[in-house]
């Protein structure tokens, strides 16, 4: 077990303190151990919840279906360059030049 040296302080009402002390005693724990245990458990829940995205079932099904559909393959960069660089000449095809 790691040595515990860090501290956190909290302000609470007398009723809150009484409740926490009672719960700690009922659990057979010190107030400090009870508070740390409860806080760490809740922190784990909050962090886990922040890592989950919830979507309605219909939306999720449509998303998966869309991912299964292949997109049309885009032209390679060279093909795009050739098309842009070789526009049709208003004079027709020139000798030595590939038709555009």
Q: Map out the domains of the chain as residue ranges.
A: 14-68
Residue 27 in tokens: 């659990």
pLDDT tier at 45 (50, 70, 90 boundaries)? Answer: very high
pLDDT in tens, 10-31: 999 999 999 999 999 999 999 9
Distance, CA of 35 to CA of 24 (rounded, Å)? 8
Find the DSSP H helices in 4-98.
Answer: 14-27, 31-50, 57-68, 77-85
Rg (CA), the chain: 34
pLDDT digits (tens, 9 = 90+) for 83-93: 555 556 555 55
Model pTM score? 0.54
Position with higher pLDDT, 98 vs 31: 31
3-state SS, residue 9: coil
């Amino acid at each position: 077990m790691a040595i515990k040296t860090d501290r956190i302080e909290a302000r609470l009402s007398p009723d809150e303190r009484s409740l926490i002390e009672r719960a700690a005693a009922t659990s057979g724990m010190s107030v400090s151990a009870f508070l740390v245990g409860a806080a760490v458990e809740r922190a784990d829940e909050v962090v886990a919840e922040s890592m989950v995205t919830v979507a309605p079932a219909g939306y999720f099904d449509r998303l998966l279906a869309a991912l299964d559909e292949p997109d049309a393959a885009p032209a390679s960069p060279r093909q795009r360059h050739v098309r842009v660089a070789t526009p049709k000449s208003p004079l027709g095809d020139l000798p030595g030049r590939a038709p555009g």
